[in-house]
A and B are shown apart, each in its own frame.
Chain A
Amino acid sequence: MSFSLSVKSTIHFVGVLSFVRFSSSLLGLFTTYGTITPQSPQVEIGKNFTATCVLYETAESTADDIFWTCNGKVPEELYTKINDSAVSVTIKITPDTCKWLICNKQPRYVNQTPAIHGIMLTKGYPPEKPNNLSCMAVQSGQKISPILNCSWEPGTRDELLKTNYTLHTSWTGFNSSQKSIGYINMETFPSYCELKIWVEVANSLGKVQSETLTVGDANYLVKTNPPLNVHIYSENNFPRSLLVKWRRPIEKHFFRLKYNIRFCAVGSEDWSEVPPNDTESDVDSFRLQHLKPYTEYVVQVRCMHSIGLGYWSDWSANATWWTPEDKPSSQPDLWRVVIPSQGKSERRVQVMCKDPVESNGRIRNYSIKIQDGGRKTVLVNRSETESRKIIPLYQFVLPDDGEALIELDACNSRGMSPRASLTIPKFTHEPPSVKSLSWFTKEGRLWVEWVPHRGKARDVTEYILEWVSVSDGALDWQRERASRTGLANGNLEKFKRYSISVYPMYSGKTGKPWTEPAFLDQKAPMVGPVVNVSRCGKNDAELRWMEIPLDKQQGFITNYTIFYTMGKQEQSITVSADTYSYTLKHLTSGSKYVVRVMASTVAGDTFGPEYTFNTLEYAPGEIEGIVVLVCLAFLFLVVSLVVTCILKMERIKKKIWPPVPDPSNSTIANWSPDFPSKADPVSKENALGDVSVVEVDVFDGRSLCEEDKAGLPLKKDKYLSEEHSSGIGGSSCMSSPRQSVSDSDEGGDSGQTTASTVQYSSVVASSGYKGQTPQPCSSQAQTPSFARSESTQPLLESEEQPEGQEGSGQPHLRHPRNAYFRRLPGGSSDDDDNNSGDPGDLNQLEMEDQGLTLLQFSPLEEGSQQTTPTEEGQTPDGQLDPIPSYLPQLRGYRPQ
């Protein structure tokens, strides 16, 4: 590091020092101590270089004090002491040799600079010899350009030194050269003169020249223009010949020319060249022979010095012309398509053909003959460029057991072609097909291989290789003679499906075909399968998709892959190519699935559109099962309940409808002094039918309860509680006296205060009943006697028996009670008027009704004053509703 720094500083210093010394030498200000020879040398890499440092007297030093530096101190072994004041140094020059070589002397004192003088070494290589010199002069106008252009290969080493290239000729001129090319202007091109050319390369280290290019005639370096005015002429009597004429590009006095002619049919790039020997002489025309009639040819001509030295000119411009027509020299390509008829024992035959390969002109018509029929002419009307197009000629129906011989001639303006024939054998007598058929592609072409039928191969004269495009039905064929391999020469398109067939031909008779599908090239299908779900279950779904149309498959489908996704989880299943439905299983119920199907060929895959479906929450029938089960359970429950009810009827009945004590059989009557201890047998028999409805007389009630009404606002709560407690007690004029009793039973009766559980009480006033002396309602002095029943039956008439009736003194128990029962409005009202109904009728009524519905509370007879019951019990049309004969508990017993 320190060394490199010192070197840099030294170099910098030396540069400054040199400038200073140079300046000082000019101005005489500074003293120079010595010098180095040579000055600013250009040294050759790889060789030794010697420099000598000479001290002046002013240096006051000797040669022993001199040392050399060159990127560091040069070893003293390389020094050579010449005398006391001069020392030389010899170093080998390499690419890495230092740029500055400095002569130094040992300083006498500290601040004295050691450098005396330095030189800059310019390194480089001597010039290299150019090789492969070549020159060319081109035609300019009608003469040869005097400018000679030359090129050569320079040396491969880097040119570290400035190098000059000079082009020299034996014919003086002005040259301008670069590293590898140059030209020389000779004023006049030295035709027929010997010319020597060489290149000289020079730099400061030397000079070298290339090998001399000597040409005996400078014309050997000429490249002329291509031949002029190339024209082609045809002659009608020579349909296979064309005459080519041209004009030489340069005057004959310069030199003789030889020519080169090439030609090809238009559209073809396969040039044919006329043998050079045929055009070596300096000619200006040539007749091309053995051409194809009625073919457009392209001809080009070029030229060069007849000696063969120099350069070929460029090819002339294209000259095109048609050869004349000739009569067809080959058969038309006759073929047929046989289409079997559905349900008929016949075939439909379409005869078609292609122009003869050697049609030698434009085919104008075809002459066709079917079996023994007459000859028919089919005119051909088409453009010039539609040759070799398939021409449908004729269509006829051939019975399956029939055979047809087809003969065909093609005609152009010059004549008729050789006849082509084709035999369609009987359907049942078709010769056998080939044994097998296969195909492969190679270099973008379709090759077909087949194995001939064993035993019949010798009879086969040729094979027809036919291919039909599945997409558009385009058909083409070609003939292969005595071969087992055929290259389909038609314009087969990639990614299209073809049906390849091979027909063996047995002396013009068609054999059975062997057909295979084929693709010239395959890629991913054009479209993917469109999938849908045909059935979706709880955990499975059946997918269906259609086969991709054949013209969109673009290859053989190798398999289908089903992708189905739920959420972000995708699964796939691969199925074979002949599968078009698949049932996905183990799906999650009630989930959304996205499914798509990918069709694959060997060359790629294509996805079809996505299809979304949801699996069912419940499987089909599951809901119905649940409903049935629930219904069955419910039914079972109901049945069980009914059975239980039936079995426990008595108990339930007792529970719901507790036995109502028959007032007639009530023991309370026993404690009445006037009541017989035993019931009337007749009454006993009718005990069940003695259901009666308490008829509340509003007037009576009002009259009886005036006092209560008066005190109602004040004692409403109590009053209501009384109603609750007694259930019926409020309706009686004697409720007040019973208040204490009712109150005492309030707690125990609370459960019977609802409307549904109307507590039927039988209150028997101790007064006015059964012969007791009736007392006014206001009488408070008498102690009432009563008994209570838990029955919910309607109130009995004994509770509200009017005094008048009581006063009638009728001894029979039934009579006063029945006086409170009325028939329905539709019934007889006389009984009410009489207040003495027939007990038998009453019982009958009770028996018929089996309840209370037919027995109505009949307030109508009480006059218009009775408003509340009317409003409640009357329908808007004035009819009475079948309200219960007792008042609901909610209403209390106030009207009573």
Chain B
Amino acid sequence: MSGHVKIMYPQVSISPTARTWLSLMLVVAIHPSDAGAACGNTPCGPSLQRSLKLTRLMHKESGDLLKTYKASQGDQSDLFCQKSSNIVPDPIISGLDPSERILSIYSHCKTFLPHLTRVTEQQTDLQPPSSPLLNQLLTAQNRISGLGNQINCLYQTLFPNLPIPPEPVDGPMSVPPPQNVFQQKIYGCVVLKRFKEFLANSARELKTIKDQMCSRRKTFGHANALF
């Protein structure tokens, strides 16, 4: 009885590869218009608060993800993360006013999703199926999708008269071409590192927006009158 023992869980078991593809389908299935349907009418209500908390949660998890990634890449993992890549989105939130900055956050969510997906694909090949890294990567994908919906909803709530541009305004959407393992490891670490920075920036930005917008609304009463 020294053979393999398969632990049975009361949940649907899905192979990591299938899980990855299903996640991609899930991401594709989330359309901004669908998310907008769930948005509320109170800009300073739970929508902004939830977006901020979700961003913080994702930032916390991205730190853990990066640690896990480094731990799972073997020796010289720090070396991988010191490299830079032009194909990875910049984590900086751009824009002059809150609407642009919120839109920048939304665009980054859309931009980072294919990169996370790509890293997940690459690590699926590099890591054993039981590696926690894959699960965390999957969670990061799901969360960035949810954050995108939340930001979209927040944008529609805060700026109902401003349309969302169809294409992302920040960063390249294209994923890198086929790479060798070394390049994959460098690429993955850069993606996760910038992803974490993006989330930190987003949290900070949302906190600022919350403080600015909601305190002002509390002061003047009617937020929509400002926009």
Binding site for B on A (CB under 8 A): 147, 170-172, 174, 176, 183, 185-188, 190-194, 196, 216-217, 251, 253-255
Contact = CB atoms under 8 A, between A and B. Distances in A.
Interface in B28-79: 29, 38, 40, 46, 50-51, 53-54, 56-57, 60-61
B150 to A, nearest CB: 7
A216 B50 contact: yes
Contacts of A172: 26, 29
Nearest to B143: A188
A170 B38 contact: yes
A217 B14 CA distance: 26
Going nearest first, the 3 A-B pairs with the smallest beta carbon separation are A192-B54, A188-B142, A192-B50
Given A172-B26, A174-B12, A190-B146, A254 B50 contact: no
A185 B11 contact: yes
Contacts of B14: 174
Contact of B56 (A170, A187, A196, A253): A253
A253 B60 contact: yes
Nearest to B45: A216
- Which of A186, A188, A190, A191 counts the most chain B CB atoms within 10 A? A188
Contacts, number: 55
Contacts of A191: 54, 57
Interface in B3-31: 11-12, 14, 19, 22-23, 26, 29
Nearest to A175: B12
B149 interface: yes
- Which of A187, A196, A251 counts the most chain B CB atoms within 10 A? A187
A187 B57 contact: no
Contacts of B23: 187
B12 A193 contact: no
A21 to B, nearest CB: 46
Interface of A: prevailing SS: loop
B12 A185 contact: yes
Nearest to B40: A216
Interface string B132-158: 000000110011001001100000000
A190 B38 contact: no
A255 B56 CA distance: 11
Contact of B139 (A170, A188, A194, A255): A188
Contact of A216 (B11, B19, B22, B46): B46
A187 B150 contact: no
B60 A251 contact: yes
Nearest to A143: B139
A193 B26 contact: no
Contacts of B150: 192-193
Given A187-B19, A251-B60, A192 B142 contact: no
Contacts of A176: 12
Interface residues of B, number: 26
A170 B36 CA distance: 13
17 contacts: A171-B146, A172-B26, A176-B12, A185-B12, A191-B57, A192-B51, A192-B146, A193-B50, A193-B54, A193-B149, A193-B150, A217-B46, A217-B50, A251-B60, A253-B53, A253-B56, A253-B60
B43 to A, nearest CB: 14
Contacts of A254: 57
Contacts of B142: 186-188, 190
A186 B22 CA distance: 11
A187 B138 contact: yes
Contacts of A188: 138-139, 142-143
B118 to A, nearest CB: 18
Contacts of B26: 172, 187
A213 to B, nearest CB: 13
Contacts of A185: 11-12
A424 B101 CA distance: 92
A217 B51 CA distance: 10
Given A192-B146, A193-B146, 5 more contacts: A171-B146, A174-B14, A187-B142, A191-B54, A251-B60
A255 B54 CA distance: 10
Nearest to A184: B12
A149 to B, nearest CB: 10
A543 B142 CA distance: 98
A499 B53 CA distance: 72
A147 B10 CA distance: 10
Nearest to A193: B146
Interface string B177-210: 0000000000000000000000000000000000
- Which of B29, B50, B139 counts the most chain A CB atoms within 10 A? B50
B57 A192 contact: yes
Nearest to B9: A147
Contacts of B54: 191-193
B57 A253 contact: yes
Contacts of B56: 253
Interface string B150-181: 10000000000000000000000000000000
A196 B34 CA distance: 12
A151 to B, nearest CB: 15
A24 B199 CA distance: 73
A172 B28 CA distance: 11
A253 B63 CA distance: 12
Contacts of A193: 50, 54, 146, 149-150
Given A147-B11, A187-B138, A251-B60, A194 B38 contact: yes
